[in-house]
Amino acid sequence: MPVISSPYAFNEDDLYVDLRPVLDSPLYLKCEGFNFAGSIKLKAAAAMVESAERKGVLNSRSALVESSSGNLGVALSVIAASKGYRFLCVTDSRCNLATRLMMEALGSEVHVINNAKPYDSFLAARIAYVEALCASDSRWVWLSQYTNPANWHAHYRSTAPAIAREFPELDVLFVGAGTTGTLMGCARWFRHWRRPVRVVAVDSVGSVSFGGPPGRRMIPGLGMGVRPPLLDTSYVDEVVHVEEADTVRTCRELAHHGFLFGGSTGTVVSGATSWLARHGGPAVTSVAIAPDLGERYLDTVYHDNWVRALYGESAIGEPSAGHSAEHSAEPAAAPAADPMPEPSAAPSAEPAPEPSPDPRPSST
């Protein structure tokens, strides 16, 4: 029986769902949402905090700040609450309300960017805000999930070896592409150990990560508005792009069978089943990584009015495995919102609260 004293010390790493009875596809889904942060991001968050502490960048006077569309923000909120750090998450208007409330319940502060202008994307606007804040006071520590090698190291050390142990004859691995930490960690591990595994990246239509044109993306998690600095395409064998409407359909079909997964998982499963419909067969052993669970998407992906307004009535119906594509949608304007505060108006940092007298070392 596991007994823990810190919330980041537990992560279920060996749970898989056989999707053959559900989607009639030869796919095993590695479930990464069964921890106290509810997503795979707990691994990267713990690794980045541990690295910063080990290097002396993060100390008792520090305050954490990070740009996140949601899941990493929750993971850092869990760790910050446990260790006594102050944490500010800079997100944007696409972040689910449940996610923002969860971070605040854990004692974190949340700053929402409502308008990307004058920047090219919400991500660029969030990063500009974080950079201005860090320039205003040296006590702010930005872990920078987009450039931090500890992000992919976490999956090199844990996620990929766990998959290899359970599936020694693995043929294809499907990994969602956001910051590409999970993708790069897994792809590097299988390449390093010379495993003949085909690594297929799954991205959202409208993401520019793999060179496609930018487009509207309303489901947080996967996809990027700029090319991910961690991405090395030489480790990726193929890329599948998924329309958000197909993400919604797949999430809802899984829910109809009792599996309530998040938007990122819906995207990965949609892309994987599409690829397998074209290239797979009963003899193919394939695994897809499910980054998150679905409770935080109840007011978006699982809300009929939200889905109708963005994707039309057809997105509420039954999904089909052939709609994922390898192209990007036409760009669409972001919804109108309040102007983003100028970076110079970033709030001055207050002294970070003193951590507990004997902070526990972080764990990956």
- What confidence tens digit (pLDDT) does each residue in 267-307 have? 999 999 999 999 978 889 999 999 999 999 999 999 999 99
Give mean pLDDT, residues 42-51. 97
Say how far apart CA 80 and CA 355 lie, in whole Å: 9
DSSP 242-255: E-HHHHHHHHHHHH
The yes-or-no verdict on residue 67 having pLDDT over 60 is yes
Residue 273, pLDDT score? 96
Helix (H, G, I), strand (E, B) or coil at 334: coil
Residue 119, pLDDT score? 87
If we measure between CA atoms, which residue out of 128, 91, 114, 100 comes closest to residue 336?
Answer: 114
| Percentage of the chain exceeding pLDDT 90 | 77
| Percentage of the chain exceeding pLDDT 70 | 87
Using 50, 70 and 90 to split pLDDT, how confident is the model at 94? Answer: confident
Torsion-angle region of 24 (φ positive above 0: left; ψ -120 to 50: alpha; else: beta): left
Q: What torsion do the CA atoms of 31, 275, 242, 299 make, to the nearest 10 degrees?
A: -30
Interacting residues of 256 by C-beta distance below 8 A, sequence separation 6+: none
Using 50, 70 and 90 to split pLDDT, how confident is the model at 347? Answer: very low
Say how far apart CA 300 and CA 25 lie, in whole Å: 26
Whether omega for the bond prior to residue 357 falls within 30 degrees of 0, making it cis, is: no
Element holding 173 (H helix, E strand): strand 172-176
Sign of the Cα torsion 120, 265, 190, 14 reads positive
- pLDDT 10s digits, 247-273: 999 999 999 999 999 999 999 999 999
The yes-or-no verdict on residue 345 having pLDDT over 50 is no
Residue 308, pLDDT score? 96
Residue 282, pLDDT score? 81
Residues paired with 66 in a beta bridge = 89
Contact between 93 and 335 under an 8 Å Cβ cutoff? The reply is yes
Using the CB atoms, write b or e for 118-142: b if 16+ within 10 Å: ebebbbbbbbbbbbebbeeeebbbb
DSSP 36-88: TTSBTHHHHHHHHHHHHHHHTSS-TT-EEEEE-SSHHHHHHHHHHHHHT-EEE
Report the DSSP pairing between strands 286-290 and 238-242.
unpaired
Take residue 129 and report the two structure tokens written for it.
């805000």
